[in-house]
Amino acid sequence: MSALRTPLTELVGIEHPIVQTGMGWVAGPSLVSATAEAGGLGILASATMTFAELEAAITKTKAHTDKPFGVNIRADATDAPERIDLLIREKVAVASFALAPKQELIAKLKDAGVVVIPSIGAAKHAVKVASWGADAVIVQGGEGGGHTGPVATTLLLPSVLDAVDIPVVAAGGFFDGRGLAAALAYGAAGVAMGTRFLLTKESTVPEAVKQEYLKRQLQDTVVSLKVDGMPHRVLNTELVDRLEHSGRWRGLAAAVSNAAKFKGMTGMKWSAMVRDGLAMRKAKDLSWSQVVMAANTPMLLRAGLVEGNTQAGVLAAGQVTGIIDDLPTCKELIDRIVADAVARIDSIAALTADHNAAPNGS
């Protein structure tokens, strides 16, 4: 199969310019090692793991692949410095962040040879992290799943490409070879996909939940502020509909009780949760009620994505869920995306080649 060499494949040492993003409760060792073995960059989601679970997940991923992979860390978590030390110790290839880490932490990772790729949602943030030494950025447009912004990939991507010189990976709405070819034509170094990888054989999301995603149409996601106070793109389920129409205090009471469950499950102390909350409040400029709701989100996502309870859980999803109708293996998916992108790039190149050819073919 033809290869696509880009600044991303060179930077990370992977075969194909395709990233599987760090989705909480979804991107575990099974998905990440399958992506790595298929030649893409898989990223473990660690925000929903305890430190010990992250250690175990890294060990398990390494047992299934010796190819490069990454770990997504919440930069505002109180134990972010220890997690960064773990990545360095374990020689993890890539550190991914939803919020930019402090400049010293980027420098520390880079000195240890770890590639730093923060996710950003605006050109000004890309400029900031590039000036702090980030090696590349993932830019997520508004059609993407999970926390998302208002601007579509088609406009956000060129604005970021114009603003920075480091490699830019396009995310939000990608699922096939057309998307990869288009992203490369924009000048991106590759694509990153969340929802598309959630819907693969190796994703550990319960089968019934996968079917729920497959059934959905393009208009069946909604950006809700009621899940955790920040714009969150999710499947438009009955629960989300109820949250959207519930009063503020009822939502908050449920949020506090769920935050307590998450605390019990992860072994986090209230003091650590309050410290994380304070950091989040400062970093994201949130009100206290938004912080409590944010602490609640992991439980709602877990109920849906791990326990398969679509009535009580929230299912983060990109709009792209409406166009996906199969559950390939990661290898089938990556192979077909690359083959199709190569064919599309060749046929576009032929447009100018034909035009320039001499009429008699000489």
Ligand X SMILES: Cc1cc2nc3c(=O)[nH]c(=O)nc-3n(C[C@H](O)[C@H](O)[C@H](O)COP(=O)(O)O)c2cc1C
List residues binding ligand X (CB under 6 A). Answer: 21-24, 26, 45, 47, 72, 98, 119, 140, 143-146, 171-174, 193-196, 198, 316-318, 320
Q: Are 254 and 296 in contact (CB under 8 A)?
A: yes
Least distance between ligand X and beta carbon 71 (Å): 11
At residue 164's C-alpha, the angle toward residues 163 and 169, to 5°, is 105
Q: Are 242 and 236 in contact (CB under 8 A)?
A: no
Instruction: Give whichever of 173 and 277 is closer to ligand X, judged by the CB atom.
Output: 173
Least distance between ligand X and beta carbon 111 (Å): 24
Q: Are 116 and 110 in contact (CB under 8 A)?
A: yes
Residue nearest to ligand X (CB): 194
Instruction: Give whichever of 86 and 300 is closer to ligand X, judged by the CB atom.
Output: 300
Instruction: Give whichever of 42 and 194 is closer to ligand X, judged by the CB atom.
Output: 194
Dihedral sign computed on CA atoms, order 271, 277, 283, 287: negative
DSSP bridge partners of 20 = 42, 193
Instruction: Give alpha helix (H) positions in 246-329.
Output: 248-266, 270-284, 288-305
Distance CA 217, CA 213 (A): 9
Q: Are 72 and 194 in contact (CB under 8 A)?
A: no
Least distance between ligand X and beta carbon 355 (Å): 35
Least distance between ligand X and beta carbon 145 (Å): 3
Least distance between ligand X and beta carbon 14 (Å): 17
Least distance between ligand X and beta carbon 46 (Å): 9
At residue 183's C-alpha, the angle toward residues 180 and 186, to 5°, is 150
Instruction: Give whichever of 14 and 324 is closer to ligand X, judged by the CB atom.
Output: 324
Least distance between ligand X and beta carbon 143 (Å): 6
Instruction: Give whichever of 98 and 293 is closer to ligand X, judged by the CB atom.
Output: 98
Beta strands in the chain (DSSP E): 18-20, 41-45, 70-73, 94-97, 115-120, 137-140, 146-147, 168-171, 190-193, 221-224, 232-235
Instruction: Give whichever of 114 and 205 is closer to ligand X, judged by the CB atom.
Output: 205
Distance CA 101, CA 286 (A): 18
Distance CA 49, CA 300 (A): 15
Instruction: Give whichever of 39 and 304 is closer to ligand X, judged by the CB atom.
Output: 304
Q: Which residue from 230, 223, 359 is spatially nearest to 290, judged by alpha carbons?
A: 230
Instruction: Give whichever of 47 and 164 is closer to ligand X, judged by the CB atom.
Output: 47
Least distance between ligand X and beta carbon 347 (Å): 25
